[in-house]
Amino acid sequence: MRIISPSIILVLLILCPLASGEEPSVLFNGKDLTGWTGADYEVKEGTLICRGKVLRTEKQYSNYILEFDFLLPPRGNNGLGIHYPGEGRPSGAGMELQILDNSHPKYAKLKDSQYHGSLYKLQAAKRGFLKSAGEWNHQKVTVDGARVQVELNGVTILTANLDELATKFPKHKGVKRRTGHLCFCGHGDPVRFRNITIRELSGQSK
Protein backbone atom coordinates (compact mmCIF):
# COMPACT_ATOMS: atom_id res chain seq x y z
CA MET A 1 0.00 0.00 0.00
CA ARG A 2 1.33 3.40 -0.97
CA ILE A 3 1.35 5.95 1.88
CA ILE A 4 0.50 9.52 0.90
CA SER A 5 2.53 12.20 2.62
CA PRO A 6 0.56 14.43 5.05
CA SER A 7 1.98 17.47 3.24
CA ILE A 8 0.45 16.28 -0.04
CA ILE A 9 -2.92 15.77 1.65
CA LEU A 10 -2.75 19.32 3.01
CA VAL A 11 -2.04 20.71 -0.47
CA LEU A 12 -4.97 18.77 -1.93
CA LEU A 13 -7.30 20.11 0.74
CA ILE A 14 -6.21 23.66 0.00
CA LEU A 15 -6.55 23.29 -3.77
CA CYS A 16 -9.83 21.36 -3.62
CA PRO A 17 -12.04 22.85 -0.87
CA LEU A 18 -15.08 20.76 -1.88
CA ALA A 19 -16.33 20.36 1.66
CA SER A 20 -16.85 24.08 2.04
CA GLY A 21 -19.51 24.27 -0.65
CA GLU A 22 -19.96 25.37 -4.24
CA GLU A 23 -18.21 28.10 -6.17
CA PRO A 24 -19.63 31.61 -5.79
CA SER A 25 -22.58 32.51 -8.01
CA VAL A 26 -23.27 35.98 -9.33
CA LEU A 27 -26.46 37.41 -7.80
CA PHE A 28 -26.44 40.68 -9.75
CA ASN A 29 -25.35 40.59 -13.40
CA GLY A 30 -24.69 44.32 -13.66
CA LYS A 31 -27.22 44.71 -16.50
CA ASP A 32 -30.73 44.14 -15.16
CA LEU A 33 -32.77 42.73 -12.25
CA THR A 34 -32.68 39.10 -13.37
CA GLY A 35 -33.08 36.93 -10.24
CA TRP A 36 -34.61 39.77 -8.20
CA THR A 37 -38.18 40.90 -7.61
CA GLY A 38 -40.35 43.24 -5.54
CA ALA A 39 -39.08 46.73 -6.43
CA ASP A 40 -37.71 48.67 -9.42
CA TYR A 41 -34.17 49.53 -8.43
CA GLU A 42 -32.11 51.34 -11.07
CA VAL A 43 -29.29 49.57 -12.86
CA LYS A 44 -26.63 51.98 -14.08
CA GLU A 45 -22.99 51.49 -15.11
CA GLY A 46 -22.85 48.03 -13.55
CA THR A 47 -24.29 49.13 -10.21
CA LEU A 48 -27.61 48.51 -8.49
CA ILE A 49 -29.11 51.75 -7.13
CA CYS A 50 -31.82 51.78 -4.50
CA ARG A 51 -35.05 53.49 -5.50
CA GLY A 52 -37.06 52.67 -2.40
CA LYS A 53 -38.98 49.67 -1.06
CA VAL A 54 -37.76 46.08 -0.69
CA LEU A 55 -35.88 44.31 -3.48
CA ARG A 56 -35.52 40.59 -2.82
CA THR A 57 -34.03 37.55 -4.47
CA GLU A 58 -36.41 35.20 -6.24
CA LYS A 59 -34.63 32.27 -4.61
CA GLN A 60 -34.46 31.48 -0.89
CA TYR A 61 -31.22 30.62 0.91
CA SER A 62 -30.25 28.97 4.18
CA ASN A 63 -26.46 28.70 4.61
CA TYR A 64 -24.14 30.81 2.50
CA ILE A 65 -21.36 33.33 2.16
CA LEU A 66 -22.57 36.57 0.56
CA GLU A 67 -20.15 39.24 -0.64
CA PHE A 68 -20.86 42.65 -2.11
CA ASP A 69 -19.58 46.20 -2.49
CA PHE A 70 -21.71 49.13 -1.40
CA LEU A 71 -21.48 52.91 -1.54
CA LEU A 72 -23.42 55.10 0.87
CA PRO A 73 -24.40 58.68 0.02
CA PRO A 74 -24.27 61.15 2.95
CA ARG A 75 -26.79 59.99 5.61
CA GLY A 76 -27.53 56.94 3.44
CA ASN A 77 -29.68 54.19 4.96
CA ASN A 78 -30.51 50.72 3.68
CA GLY A 79 -30.23 47.21 5.03
CA LEU A 80 -29.50 43.63 4.04
CA GLY A 81 -32.42 41.39 4.90
CA ILE A 82 -31.67 37.74 5.63
CA HIS A 83 -34.13 34.84 6.04
CA TYR A 84 -36.86 37.16 4.75
CA PRO A 85 -40.17 35.31 4.11
CA GLY A 86 -41.15 37.66 1.28
CA GLU A 87 -43.66 39.87 3.06
CA GLY A 88 -43.71 42.15 6.07
CA ARG A 89 -40.82 44.26 7.34
CA PRO A 90 -37.47 42.52 6.78
CA SER A 91 -36.21 43.58 10.22
CA GLY A 92 -39.06 41.74 11.96
CA ALA A 93 -40.36 39.07 9.61
CA GLY A 94 -36.73 38.17 8.88
CA MET A 95 -33.62 39.93 10.17
CA GLU A 96 -31.89 43.08 8.95
CA LEU A 97 -28.17 43.74 8.88
CA GLN A 98 -28.02 47.52 8.94
CA ILE A 99 -26.37 49.44 6.08
CA LEU A 100 -25.92 53.01 7.31
CA ASP A 101 -23.75 56.12 7.15
CA ASN A 102 -22.73 55.93 10.81
CA SER A 103 -20.97 59.30 10.75
CA HIS A 104 -23.96 61.47 9.84
CA PRO A 105 -25.29 63.72 12.65
CA LYS A 106 -28.82 62.51 11.90
CA TYR A 107 -27.90 59.14 13.42
CA ALA A 108 -25.94 60.39 16.44
CA LYS A 109 -28.47 59.13 18.99
CA LEU A 110 -29.35 55.69 17.65
CA LYS A 111 -29.18 52.56 19.76
CA ASP A 112 -25.93 50.62 19.38
CA SER A 113 -27.76 47.84 17.52
CA GLN A 114 -28.97 50.28 14.84
CA TYR A 115 -25.55 51.16 13.40
CA HIS A 116 -23.90 49.65 10.34
CA GLY A 117 -23.40 45.89 10.32
CA SER A 118 -25.60 45.31 13.36
CA LEU A 119 -28.42 42.80 13.48
CA TYR A 120 -31.08 45.49 13.74
CA LYS A 121 -32.24 45.83 17.37
CA LEU A 122 -30.80 42.38 18.15
CA GLN A 123 -27.01 42.70 18.39
CA ALA A 124 -24.61 45.60 17.85
CA ALA A 125 -21.65 45.50 15.48
CA LYS A 126 -18.25 47.06 16.08
CA ARG A 127 -17.85 50.55 14.67
CA GLY A 128 -14.91 52.39 13.16
CA PHE A 129 -14.28 50.35 10.00
CA LEU A 130 -16.77 51.96 7.61
CA LYS A 131 -15.31 54.21 4.91
CA SER A 132 -16.55 57.75 4.44
CA ALA A 133 -19.78 58.38 2.54
CA GLY A 134 -19.10 58.34 -1.20
CA GLU A 135 -16.44 55.60 -0.98
CA TRP A 136 -16.91 51.92 -1.85
CA ASN A 137 -16.89 49.36 0.98
CA HIS A 138 -16.66 45.59 0.76
CA GLN A 139 -18.79 43.38 3.00
CA LYS A 140 -18.79 39.62 3.55
CA VAL A 141 -21.71 38.00 5.36
CA THR A 142 -21.58 34.37 6.48
CA VAL A 143 -24.81 32.67 7.51
CA ASP A 144 -24.33 29.08 8.64
CA GLY A 145 -27.08 27.60 10.78
CA ALA A 146 -27.37 29.78 13.87
CA ARG A 147 -24.08 31.59 13.16
CA VAL A 148 -24.05 35.00 11.48
CA GLN A 149 -20.77 36.80 10.87
CA VAL A 150 -20.17 40.14 9.17
CA GLU A 151 -16.79 41.27 7.84
CA LEU A 152 -16.45 44.88 6.72
CA ASN A 153 -13.40 45.84 4.65
CA GLY A 154 -11.58 42.77 5.96
CA VAL A 155 -12.46 43.26 9.65
CA THR A 156 -14.94 41.08 11.54
CA ILE A 157 -17.47 43.49 13.07
CA LEU A 158 -20.21 41.06 14.11
CA THR A 159 -20.40 37.46 15.27
CA ALA A 160 -23.85 36.40 16.41
CA ASN A 161 -25.58 33.22 17.56
CA LEU A 162 -29.21 33.25 16.43
CA ASP A 163 -30.24 30.55 18.89
CA GLU A 164 -29.02 32.68 21.77
CA LEU A 165 -30.70 35.78 20.34
CA ALA A 166 -33.97 33.87 19.88
CA THR A 167 -33.91 33.06 23.59
CA LYS A 168 -33.08 36.67 24.47
CA PHE A 169 -35.79 38.11 22.16
CA PRO A 170 -38.61 35.53 22.23
CA LYS A 171 -41.13 37.86 20.55
CA HIS A 172 -38.93 38.45 17.48
CA LYS A 173 -40.26 36.16 14.73
CA GLY A 174 -37.44 36.60 12.24
CA VAL A 175 -34.61 35.52 14.54
CA LYS A 176 -36.15 32.06 14.70
CA ARG A 177 -36.08 31.59 10.93
CA ARG A 178 -33.27 29.60 9.27
CA THR A 179 -34.11 30.14 5.60
CA GLY A 180 -35.59 32.82 3.38
CA HIS A 181 -34.93 35.43 0.71
CA LEU A 182 -32.09 37.93 0.71
CA CYS A 183 -33.21 41.50 0.23
CA PHE A 184 -32.19 45.12 0.24
CA CYS A 185 -34.52 46.99 2.54
CA GLY A 186 -34.92 50.25 0.67
CA HIS A 187 -35.66 53.34 2.83
CA GLY A 188 -35.44 55.55 -0.27
CA ASP A 189 -31.78 56.63 -0.21
CA PRO A 190 -29.76 56.00 -3.43
CA VAL A 191 -27.36 53.48 -1.91
CA ARG A 192 -25.34 51.67 -4.60
CA PHE A 193 -24.37 47.99 -4.78
CA ARG A 194 -22.11 45.98 -7.09
CA ASN A 195 -20.16 42.69 -7.30
CA ILE A 196 -22.86 40.74 -5.44
CA THR A 197 -21.97 37.05 -5.19
CA ILE A 198 -23.13 34.13 -3.05
CA ARG A 199 -21.55 30.78 -2.22
CA GLU A 200 -24.02 28.27 -0.85
CA LEU A 201 -22.72 26.07 1.94
CA SER A 202 -25.38 23.40 2.60
CA GLY A 203 -29.05 22.67 3.06
CA GLN A 204 -30.24 24.72 0.09
CA SER A 205 -33.75 24.45 -1.28
CA LYS A 206 -36.44 26.41 -3.09
191 pLDDT tier (thresholds 50, 70, 90): very high
What pLDDT does residue 19 have? 42
CB proximity list for 200: less than 8 A, separation 6 or greater: 21, 22, 25, 61, 63, 64
Domain ranges in the chain? Answer: 21-202
Q: For 158, phi and psi rounded to 5 degrees?
A: -150, 130
Q: End-to-end distance of the chain based on CA atoms, in angstroms?
A: 45
Mind listing the pLDDT tens digit for each residue in 2-40? 555 545 444 344 344 434 456 899 999 999 999 999 998
Backbone torsion region of residue 92, taken as left when φ is above 0, otherwise alpha when ψ lies between -120 and 50, otherwise beta = alpha
| Stronger pLDDT, 30 or 202, i.e. the higher one | 30
How high is the pLDDT of residue 6? Answer: 47
For residue 1, pLDDT over 50 is answered with no
pTM higher than 0.95 for the full model?
A: no
Q: Please state which CATH class domain 21-202 belongs to.
A: mainly beta
Percent of the chain with pLDDT over 70: 87
Output the average pLDDT for the chain: 90
Q: What is the pLDDT of residue 52?
A: 87
| Rg, C-alpha atoms of the chain | 18
98-151: pLDDT as tens digits: 999 999 999 999 999 999 999 999 999 999 999 999 999 999 999 999 999 999
pLDDT reported for residue 40: 87
